[in-house]
Amino acid sequence: MNHAGHHIDGAVRHQADRTAEVTDPATGRVIRRVALAGAADVGQAVRSARAAFPGWRDQPPAKRARILFRYKELLENNAGQIARTVTEEHGKVFDDALGEVGRGIEIVEYACGAPELLKGEHARNVGPAIDSWSEFQPLGVVAGITPFNFPAMVPLWMFPIAIACGNTFVLKPSEKDPSAALRLAALFTEAGLPDGVLNVVNGNHEAVDALLTCPDIDAVSFVGSTPVAEHVYRTGTAHGKRVQALGGAKNHAIVLPDADTGIATTALMGAAYGSCGERCMAISVAVCVGDDTAERLVATLTDRIADLKVGPGRDPDNDMGPLITAAHLQKVRSYLDIGVQEGAALVVDGRRFNGPAAGDGFFLGASLFDHVTPDMRIYREEIFGPVLCVVRADSLQAAVELINAHEYGNGACIFTRDGEAARYFTDTVKVGMAGVNVPLPVPAAVHSFGGWKRSLFGDLYAYGPDAVRFYTRRKTITQRWPARDARETSQFAFPSGA
């Protein structure tokens, strides 16, 4: 059995007092052990990053970009290998894992524009012979804490841009599927990244708390559940850090009577059941306007779910793999019990899944609830599994009000052929990311990703322009060069540009 260690100061470190099991979700078998970092390991990684910071900060952005370009090429050449690692440890189907890696590479490509992204702003003659300009300078050592559901993509949301901006980085990936992050770090070293600029420490809550309280870390980025995001935000800011913490979601899709039912069904199948529903942008609620709309959608979804192929992610014929762990499988199954107890109609029961892999690994079939109401736990809480709830509304306005009343505000979409309805939706829905006939409105790399309300703690989104601002400090410089023989008197009035 091999071991997943840490990547510190450009080298792999395997020593560990504590380890945890890494399981193949498709078989339930332990495939490796991962080192769990304590405060001492985190301290070693931070010291390495702190020592590397002055030299990396002083590198011209163009030189940083050249390393990022080489890194992008290495990622593209190794994308299949990284995706297979994701499938092995997370369980998602290979095509989904490959898509995840591809989206991460797009962020690296954006970070390659560091010379343009970091250009300041200049104003000449803001006062008599006085010029002023702003610069964007790196923070120092920054940390990222990333979730199990995107073990390659979410780390790539963070460290390429932070490093492009001149920071050094300590990454704490999920201990459930750590190998992809270690491979990402090794490839960056191969691309020419100096030792210590990127460090990876594996671990659990002990490592997280060490990062949050370490005085030598200047900022923390986090993606995960809302309770943990809130803890990260409060603890990090209490220790003087800049923090962005992306939390949970309950993403809605409004289906209007004029929507093409076939198109909506096709979109919802992928958005609700792709990656076994373990996505922060997964659609978990379909809000049908009118009973006729709901009846049509439930009927077509039921038919399509019957054809869904569930099994090991390494099999290219499968549409959906297993859940990440046995504990998470039981958690999602418990929500099916809760929904039935609360009075929702369980139209398709994923607990009855009897595919060829049903006896192996952490498999659950796709589930569909109808007649779900806002007071039910299956509506209010994030299930993070292959469960879609259908809620019925009387009007578009009522559907939007339903979304706006929810504690989460990550993403939402609408299916319609009515431009006026689409405009009303995008203008009034209280979410950070909205889609029109697009079920997963994940922004492209040149924009930024983030939600509203209790889906985001902090002011700046992930990747894109917001990330450049998060990982830098603005410094404004005002400069004047008086003539050598100038004779001046003291000015006691407050200065102005007049």
Q: Which residues are catalytic?
A: 280
DSSP state of 359: T
Torsion of CA 200, 202, 203, 207, to 10 degrees: -10
Handedness of CA 210, 213, 218, 220 (dihedral sign): positive
Tokens of 441: 């409105």
In sequence order, the β-bridge partners of residue 219 are: 142, 242
Main-chain phi, psi angles of 281, to 5 degrees: -105, 10
For residues 368 and 269, the answer to whether their CB atoms sit within 8 Å is: no
Strands (E), 339-431: 345-348, 367-370, 387-393, 408-409, 411-415
Tokens of 440: 């997963």
198-200 vs 168-172, strand pairing mode: parallel
The CA distance from 300 to 190, in Å, is 50
DSSP 325-344: -HHHHHHHHHHHHHHHHHT-
| Alpha-carbon separation of residue 336 from 295, 422, 478 (angstroms) | 21, 33, 62
For residues 418 and 465, the answer to whether their CB atoms sit within 8 Å is: no
Beta carbons within 10 angstroms of residue 258's beta carbon? 12
The CA distance from 149 to 153, in Å, is 9
Residue with tokens 């998470």: 328
Using alpha carbons, select from 74, 245, 7, 20 the residue that is nearest to residue 147. 245
Main-chain phi, psi angles of 380, to 5 degrees: -75, -35
Q: Which helix (H) or strand (E) holds 394?
A: none
